[in-house]
Amino acid sequence: DGGITQSPKYLFRKEGQNVTLSCEQNLNHDAMYWYRQDPGQGLRLIYYSQIVNDFQKGDIAEGYSVSREKKESFPLTVTSAQKNPTAFYLCASSSRVHRGNQPQHFGDGTRLSIL
Amino acid sequence: GIQVEQSPPDLILQEGANSTLRCNFSDSVNNLQWFHQNPWGQLINLFYIPSGTKQNGRLSATTVATERYSLLYISSSQTTDSGVYFCAVAYNQGGKLIFGQGTELSVKP
């Protein structure tokens, strides 16, 4: 089945540790996105990528890093510089973006907590 | 930047009732999506509706782009409709979505 797979579903981070969240899609989409959701809030954009080997910061990029070496993969690293990483992280993808008018499809998310 | 406001913030319905959720946005957009987030956190696409009207079963949505609002209608509500409904918009570059704060719907049996 076509879709977006995020792993793991639950992740725990120790103080000072970097962790990487996986996002894979087999929809042949060009654009991929990472969002963060805090309890009772809407989603906020961390990073996005419109094509391979290119990505841009979103509204809350500090303390995060990404790579886009393959079209189907867009991993997110939560670094030790992110002081409040506990949140629900959602990955999304869309077909080639032309003036932002393509619908985004979401994975099932990863819940990250601090030990 | 663009502002997205949803109303009401909370809604409690008896099963079988109808409801209307509203999304106002502060600037022109070229993408508007409605999502349902279930209790497990899954974000389900309901509608991609930058303008016009669409229907899918008991749900329908209307976006009046010139007046900068969108409405989501839920008819004959069921307990499985419970959860949070988000409106999200995109404008100009990159397609990045700006989300509203959501409407939390609770449908009682």
HSE-up of residue A67 (Cα within 13 Å, Cβ side): 7
Specify the amino acid at residue A96: R
Q: Which residues of B touch A3 (CB under 8 A)?
A: none
Contacting residues for A7 by C-beta, under 8 A, at least 6 apart: A21, A22, A110
Across the range B57-65, mean pLDDT stands at: 97
Q: Judge whether B53 and B22 are in contact, CB under 8 Å.
A: no
Q: Which residues of B touch A108 (CB under 8 A)?
A: 40-42
Query: How far is A83 from chain B, CA to nearest CA, in Å?
Result: 23
Structure token pair of residue A60 = 């809350």
* pLDDT value of residue A1: 60
Q: How confident is the model at residue B30 (pLDDT cuts 50, 70, 90)?
A: confident
Q: Which residues of A touch B50 (CB under 8 A)?
A: 101
B100 to chain A: closest CA residue: A42
Percent of chain A surpassing pLDDT 70:
94
DSSP A27: S
Average pLDDT score over chain B? 94
Residue B92 has pLDDT above 70, yes or no: no
Q: Judge whether B85 and A29 are in contact, CB under 8 Å.
A: no
Residue A100 has its nearest CB partner, among B86, B94, B99, at B94
Across the range B35-43, mean pLDDT stands at: 93
Beta-carbon separation of A102 and B95 below 8 A: yes
